[in-house]
Amino acid sequence: MTTAIDAPAAGARPLAGRTTVIEVRNLVKRFGEAVVHDDLNLEVYRGEVLSIVGGSGTGKTVLLRQIVGLDRPTSGTIRVFGEDLTRLDAARLQALRNRWGLQFQRGALFSALSVIDNIALPLRELRSLPDDLICAASLLKLQLVGLSARDADKMPSDLSGGMIKRVALARALALEPELVFLDEPTAGLDPMASDDYVALIRELRRELGLTVVMVTHDLDTLVALSDRVAVLADRKVLAALPIRELARIDHPFIREYFLGERGQRAMQALPAAPMAAPAGPQSGEA
Ligand SMILES: Nc1ncnc2c1ncn2[C@@H]1O[C@H](COP(=O)(O)OP(=O)(O)O)[C@@H](O)[C@H]1O
Ligand SMILES: [Mg+2]
């Protein structure tokens, strides 16, 4: 039997002590006849890494696109930083957008712009800062993601896959966001570049106190980074829980994904005690 656990009641975790950064309520998304999301609920808390998993085509990217205001829900509400996205005019939506960074699978780098100009783009679009300041800030971001000033004038075609992901991340961090969205950030990377990227996200999250919402297929990335994992299945968020607790839910996707050979192997990397949990009353609860 399917155990559907809606996000509001997910694991019956108390909300006290946690700040909700994103709240998706009763979301319905249709494209014509096709129903992608049907009464989907999800919350994301400040300072956590929340990963979204689900089979191909289950609507992970469409969900992110709605949360960042690129797609409109058919019905339901989406609040980010307390603001209802569907009620904002264009100017206020843009102001809100400046509070988060995006690294989307298909939103790679502009091939005609150098590394530094790619990173500088969001700052230039603000039209409020002098260019020397923009260049200095962009160089800092480049270093933040582990690249050096020597890479600044390279063109995207000169970069390895891992470097491209880092530059895209630096661009996502250009406006010093509190929240970042990563869509398949390690897709296409070899295992070593992928491990390096995971270490980088971990470090940035610790140093900058970022809230991270990530879609990933990669079990190792998922296990290494996630505080909670939201499983998209049956057009809903089936559950949003720490991996260990998720693995106990009886649902075909969860069984196949987490309890298959690859899942079991990846889960061996889970630390004995919950690691780097966001501040809040997480222990001692049922
Ligand atoms: N603009 C669109 N118009 C029509 N259908 C779409 C559109 N965008 C996505 N879809 C459909 O929505 C479903 C979910 O897509 P997506 O979110 O990209 O899946 P994934 O979970 O793999 O990221 C797919 O069936 C896709 O074909
Ligand atoms: Mg996708």
219 and 272 share one domain: yes
Q: Which amino acid is at 55?
A: G
3-state secondary structure at position 255? helix
The pLDDT score that the predictor gives to residue 273 is: 56
9 lies in some domain: no
> CA-based Rg of the chain, rounded to a whole angstrom?
19
For the chain (length 286 residues), average pLDDT per consecutive 10? 41 64 98 97 97 95 95 96 92 92 82 96 92 95 95 95 93 95 91 92 92 92 94 96 92 88 84 54 42
For residue 29 and ligand 1, the question of a CB distance below 6 A is answered with no
Distance (angstroms) between ligand 1 centre and the Cα of 57 equals: 6
Distance (angstroms) between ligand 1 centre and the Cα of 285 equals: 37
Strand pairing report for 100-103 and 179-183: parallel
CA atoms within 13 A on the CB side of 6: 11
281 lies in some domain: no
Residue 123: exposure state from Cβ atoms within 10 A (0-12, 13-18, ≥19): buried
Chosen domain end from 135, 160, 176: 176
238 lies in some domain: yes
For residues 180 and 172, the answer to whether their CB atoms sit within 8 Å is: yes
Query: Beta partners for 52?
Result: 215, 230
For residue 61 and ligand 1, the question of a CB distance below 6 A is answered with yes
12 lies in some domain: no
Distance (angstroms) between ligand 2 centre and the Cα of 55 equals: 10
Chain centre to alpha carbon of residue 177: 13
232 and 265 share one domain: yes
Q: Which amino acid is at 106?
A: R
7 lies in some domain: no
Number of independent structural domains in the chain: 2
**Ligand number nearest to the C-alpha of 32:** 1
Residue 78, sorted as left (phi over 0), alpha (psi -120 to 50) or beta, turns out to be: beta
The pLDDT score that the predictor gives to residue 98 is: 92
CATH code of the domain covering residue 23: 3.40.50.300
Query: Beta partners for 102?
Result: 181
257 lies in some domain: yes
- What burial letters (b/e) apply to 83-94, b meaning 16+ CB within 10 Å? eebeebeeeebe
CA distance 215 to 186: 10
Distance (angstroms) between ligand 1 centre and the Cα of 32 equals: 12
The pLDDT score that the predictor gives to residue 106 is: 64
30 and 78 share one domain: yes
Which of 31, 66, 105, 217 to mutate to test ligand 1, by most ligand atoms within 8 A of the CB atom?
A: 31
Retrieve residue 14's tokens: 């108390």
144 and 64 share one domain: no
By residue range, what is the domain housing residue 84? 19-99+180-276
Retrieve residue 273's tokens: 């005690």
122 and 76 share one domain: no
106 lies in some domain: no
198 and 172 share one domain: no
Chosen domain end from 176, 197, 225: 176
